[in-house]
Chain A
Amino acid sequence: MTDQIRDVVRQHARLAVPVEQIPDDGDLYAAGLTSHASVNLMLALESAFDVEFPERMLRRRAFESIAAIRSALEELRGNG
């Protein structure tokens, strides 16, 4: 799952640094993730993983790192 998340981040997050250089718990906002890009990332994750983030997850924190995204997705898929 982490690899697939990294793929989506690479394509949609418009980060200032290559995603390969960011550890799973690295701060994506510090790496250049903007407000609008985080929305595009959220929509791309929904499409890639066929899920819909509930309103309580539509926060900055849910997308702050690859690990945070993974934990949100796992929770939605009932694996968390």
Chain B
Amino acid sequence: MDTATVQSEFLQQLFAHRLLIPSGVDGLYGRGTWFERVVEGIDAAVQRIGAPDNAEALHFPPVVTQHNYQLSEHFKSFPDLVGVVRGFRGKDKDHLALVEKMERGEDWAANFGPTGVIMTPAACYPIYPTLKGTIPPEGKRVTVLSYCFRYEPSLDPARLQMFRQREHVRIGTPDDVREFAATWKARGEQLFKELSLDSWSDVANDPFFGRVGKMLAANQRDQGLKFELLVPITSREKPTACCSFNYHQDHFGHLFEIKLPTGEWAHTACVGFGLERTTLALFKTHGFDVEKWPATVRERLKL
């Protein structure tokens, strides 16, 4: 069976077991009771293994401001994935025109204009603008959980348009972020092992857009700036990244003016756990009935 068929069948099974709830749009689903309990279990497990870091927990709505979005230069790398929120600003006349267009099934998007709000593309994006200035000598550690949006409709349940990432972010010297990545790699591998997931790590690149993207992707691989913990969900040849490590060098430090006490731009790195992806990996590995999962896995997730 080809991968697309396997993905589509897995999705239908998830619907049938009320783990995901269809919405009519590919990649946008409700979550059923057990699906959500597993998501929460994974998040809690990640937070327990990260507890020694004493990271500051921040919470943001799943949007970033247009100003901060532009500062992030995300649009240079991923213009095809971003979601922009638009809103209606008009008079009665415009409203009537809008209603008529909608009723006639015509394109009404032009009646909506910019709101200055962009959907969060990755959970850590709202963090960097809050760190402008000089960070303390020991650097900073922040953790955040957020829904993210990526415009990529797909029948692959592991490629959702809205999904959650639990991220831990380190801001500091190049040595600080390297040590952070090594620590979290070991923690992630240990957690996946305890969840009885068949996983391995590999160097990776982001899906950068266009010609410039080819160079960024090649650089990212050559320099080992991104690596992932992969789990086969619907394919062994194309395993799914359930945990991703990204070293941004001083990219965000420079863009958001985050400085080390020495005056140099701070380096940043993040580790993100894909909560839906890890949940899907567990359902694929251990079956659709959580009560029949191995006791060790249920214990680890407090299920």
Contacts and interface: CB of A to CB of B under 8 A. Distances in A.
Contacts, number: 37
A47 B7 CA distance: 44
Interface in B204-255: 211-212, 214-216, 218-220, 222-223, 225, 249-251, 254
Nearest to B219: A35
A43 B214 CA distance: 13
Nearest to A16: B264
Interface stretch (A1-9, A19-27, A55-63, A68-76): A55-63
Contacts of A43: 212
B223 A35 contact: yes
A60 B223 contact: yes
Contacts of B219: 35, 38-39, 60
Nearest to B212: A39
A14 interface: yes
A36 B214 contact: no
Contact of A58 (B215, B223, B251): B215
A25 B249 CA distance: 24
Given A14-B254, A35-B225, A59 B215 contact: yes
Interface magnitude class on chain A: 10 to 19
Contact of A36 (B211, B216, B218): B216
Contact of A39 (B215, B225, B254): B215
Interface SS of B by simple majority: helix
B251 A60 contact: no
A11 interface: no
A33 to B, nearest CB: 10
B73 interface: yes
Nearest to B208: A39
A58 B214 contact: yes
Contact of A55 (B211, B223, B251): B211
3 nearest A-B pairs in the assembled complex, by CB-CB distance: A58-B215, A35-B219, A34-B249
Interface of A: 14, 34-36, 38-39, 42-43, 55, 58-60
Given A35-B219, A38-B215, 17 more contacts: A14-B254, A34-B249, A34-B251, A35-B216, A35-B225, A36-B73, A36-B216, A36-B249, A38-B219, A39-B212, A39-B215, A43-B212, A55-B214, A58-B215, A58-B218, A60-B222, A60-B223
